[in-house]
Chain A
């Protein structure tokens, strides 16, 4: 990999959790890969293959047992403002309205009220939630909550967006909407994206590269570069071929 362009460098990462059986606790073993600037990388695999653990380590929410993750060459030591994260269940702050959730990060940095309101308003419009600014999370549907979650992460203008099965809890139609939305936002705002998912179709639809993880111990089994131009047709033969190859790789 061309090291000049590497934004995220995962080097021989191993993660061992305490468990009765040391084999059970080995979530990741010697994982190495790189992510280029503005690349969209998807991670797929069965349950228990360590994909969420990998994402959490890159996020800085977990420390690796061995190995290290470098961002722009600097080792990761904990969560940082260069990385934003979106979880499967939006996990919005229930006591804040949509727009207040988005403003939360900037307000913590001391950004003055009018500036951050302006920023947040812009993001609300980006995720197409105009009119819902003053709603509480409880009043919003799952898809809307995820949009707010994305906007909230974007408010810190992170270089890297980490997404842990963000559309997993949504119904099929909303899920497809959100996939379009995500691509639109990614294309206009140019971020590096690491996207964990169960769905092979979703990964082929969205990503430049798909990493297939396998469990026991968690490691990369195979890597695929998706060279189809976007927007991609889920019914096209090339799409189906990628799907089948990845399906086989998962095993």
Chain B
């Protein structure tokens, strides 16, 4: 929609963004005297390049992505599996949901100390926290999707001769996909937050560790750089998941609801 209003809006967006960067630079170079504590964008880049080798940075980034990838995949797989099982078999579902819903109000971060007691200080404790972050939203949304399918869709399928496992796989699960997709998006966000927190609190590597360590060394620029990098990575991965994976597969759901 190339209306004048749309173009104005676009200009406003870019201006707002540039204004912020300029403001940031202004405050840091003119208003603040203790410049090492409030580095401007230019200084952040310079200082980081001086003090942090690219290879080290990429290593940390890689480890973080690896952790979150692993935790997220396991969490999503189990979340969908249990969500489907609990939605399909009602009694078993009530049984399984009891421990799940008891644990759900506890934020995944709160499990960090116990995870360390049980799993040690290695990778598994962090992956566990990330797994928890992904599991609950995926499970909850999958279960909700399973239990709110339009009944006539199931009846139509039954009339066409489907039942049992076939009914589940060829009709019920596809009908639940939009809710599963919502769960996956949420699960990724939570996983990401859990990853950063777990690395800040209890790790010796990864982006979270990087910024905590930079504070100990007193290099504020790297802290800022790390924070921005985490934010940007979050944005990019969220975009990738939404656009490429979800929208492609779920074209049929989003038709006519394209966001501007």
Contacts and interface: CB of A to CB of B under 8 A. Distances in A.
Given A108-B166, A136-B255, A93 B174 contact: yes
Nearest to A153: B159
Contacts, number: 70
Interface string B216-258: 0000000000000000000000000000000000011101100
Given A136-B252, A139-B256, A93 B159 contact: no
B150 interface: yes
Contact of A81 (B157, B161, B166, B252): B161
A203 B175 CA distance: 34
Contact of A108 (B156, B160, B255): B160
Given A138-B255, A139-B255, A95 B156 contact: no
B156 to A, nearest CB: 5
Given A136-B252, A136-B255, A139-B255, A93 B153 contact: yes
Interface in B161-178: 161-163, 166, 170-171, 174-175, 177
B255 to A, nearest CB: 5
Contact of B256 (A81, A138, A149): A138
A74 B256 CA distance: 47
Interface in A214-246: none
Interface string A82-112: 0111010101111110000000110011000
Given A91-B150, A91-B152, A139-B255, A108 B170 contact: yes
Given A91-B150, A109-B161, A85 B156 contact: yes
A84 B251 CA distance: 29
A79 interface: yes
B160 A104 contact: yes
Contacts of A89: 150, 152
A84 B160 CA distance: 7
A95 B252 contact: yes
Given A87-B152, A89-B152, A94 B160 contact: no
A87 B174 contact: no
B interface majority secondary structure: helix
Contacts of A81: 160-161
Contact of A105 (B153, B161, B174, B177): B161
B51 interface: no
A164 to B, nearest CB: 9
Nearest to B257: A138
A108 B161 contact: yes
Contacts of B159: 59, 61, 79, 83-85, 153
Nearest to A83: B159
Contacts of B170: 108
A79 B153 contact: no
A105 B160 CA distance: 5
Nearest to A136: B252
Contacts of A95: 174-175, 177, 252-253
B94 interface: no
A152 B154 CA distance: 14
Nearest to B256: A138
B177 A108 contact: no
Interface string A124-136: 0000000000001
Contact of A91 (B155, B166, B255): B155
Contacts of A152: 156, 160
Contacts of B252: 94-96, 136-138
A169 to B, nearest CB: 12
Contacts of A94: 175, 252-253
A77 to B, nearest CB: 12
Nearest to B177: A95
A47 to B, nearest CB: 18
Given A91-B152, A93-B153, A61 B255 contact: no
A156 interface: yes
B66 interface: no
B158 interface: yes
Contact of A93 (B171, B255, B256): B171
Given A91-B152, A91-B156, A93-B171, 11 more contacts: A61-B159, A81-B161, A83-B159, A85-B159, A87-B155, A89-B152, A95-B177, A95-B252, A96-B252, A108-B160, A138-B252
Interface of B: 150, 152-153, 155-163, 166, 170-171, 174-175, 177, 251-253, 255-256
7 contacts: A61-B158, A81-B161, A89-B152, A91-B152, A93-B157, A108-B170, A149-B156
Instruction: State the 10 A-B residue pairs at the shortest beta-carbon distance, nearest first.
Output: A91-B152, A105-B160, A136-B252, A85-B159, A87-B152, A79-B158, A95-B174, A91-B156, A138-B255, A91-B153
